[in-house]
Homo-oligomer: A and B are copies of this chain.
Amino acid sequence: MKAVILLSGGLDSATTLAIAKKEGYACHALSFNYGQRHVAELNAAKKVARALNAATYKIIDLDLTWIGGSALTDTRIAVPEAPTRGIPVTYVPARNTIFLSYALGFAETLGAGDIFIGVNAVDYSGYPDCRPEYIKAFETMACLATRAGVEGNPFRIHTPLIHLSKAEIIKKGVELGVDYSLTVSCYQADAQGHACGRCDSCRFRKEGFTQAGIPDPVPYQK
């Protein structure tokens, strides 16, 4: 039983990979080199894929900097270091839709009906493409889009973390043997993977570890 797993190199997707593996899937992990500011996450993803015995691991090159409109793909827009109102500027237009579309094509060719994505709608930045209603709509679309769907082999988009708090995600990952020292969550990690500790993603991570009562093993910048 094969599944495609979107693996960013962060805490959530590493936990998602561990869950898919625990459920018995042969896990085909995909990462995207999309021009993101925090390219250190790709090294992390590779280590996580290896540590969790992914069946295959691929990094797909695609450029989203020409679309821009985000602090993650346009270096002229600063990453906020304090909470902001509404959807923050780290939102990347259509990013999860683009990633899931590639995963869909890959899954169809692979003969996999299952796609895992580590989106979370509890301790999150309010990105629209992390919400259950979005995922459900993508799944409906995916079944209509594909030969497999038309021929009666629908795709399921699995979001095992969507209703968990960050602390619950961390506890589950620890239980499944995820080595969080390999992961990079920070939006502006340096080349060595040192986290800033101030961006949204760092804040959610740090609060999650604190609430879980587990020390965060990643290095933070001084």
Binds B, one of A132-140, A169-177, A183-191: A132-140
**Pick the contact of A105 from B64, B106, B142, B150 — CB < 8 Å?**
B64
Q: Is A104 an interface residue (CB 8 A)?
A: yes
Q: Is A81 an interface residue (CB 8 A)?
A: no
Q: Whose C-beta in chain B lies nearest to the C-beta of A88?
A: B147
Residue pair B128, A93 in contact (C-beta under 8 Å): no
How far apart sit A87 and B152, CA to CA, in the bound complex (Å)? 14
Given contacts A147-B91, A149-B128, contact A97 B141 (CB under 8 A): yes
Q: Is A67 an interface residue (CB 8 A)?
A: yes
In the complex, how many residues of chain A place their beta carbon closer than 8 angstroms to a beta carbon of chain B?
Answer: 42
A155 to B: closest C-beta gap in Å:
10
Chain B residues lying within 8 Å of A128, measured Cβ to Cβ, are: 144-147, 149-150
A174 to B: closest C-beta gap in Å:
32
Residue pair A93, B67 in contact (C-beta under 8 Å): no
Given contacts A134-B144, A144-B133, contact A104 B97 (CB under 8 A): yes
Sample 24 A-B pairs with CB under 8 A, ordered by A number: A58-B66, A60-B66, A67-B106, A69-B109, A87-B147, A93-B106, A93-B146, A93-B147, A94-B101, A94-B102, A94-B146, A95-B105, A97-B101, A97-B142, A98-B98, A98-B101, A98-B102, A128-B144, A128-B150, A129-B144, A133-B144, A134-B145, A137-B145, A138-B141
Residues in A lying within 8 Å of B, measured CB to CB: 58, 60-64, 66-69, 87, 91-98, 101-102, 104-106, 108-109, 128-129, 131, 133-134, 137-138, 140-142, 144-147, 149-150
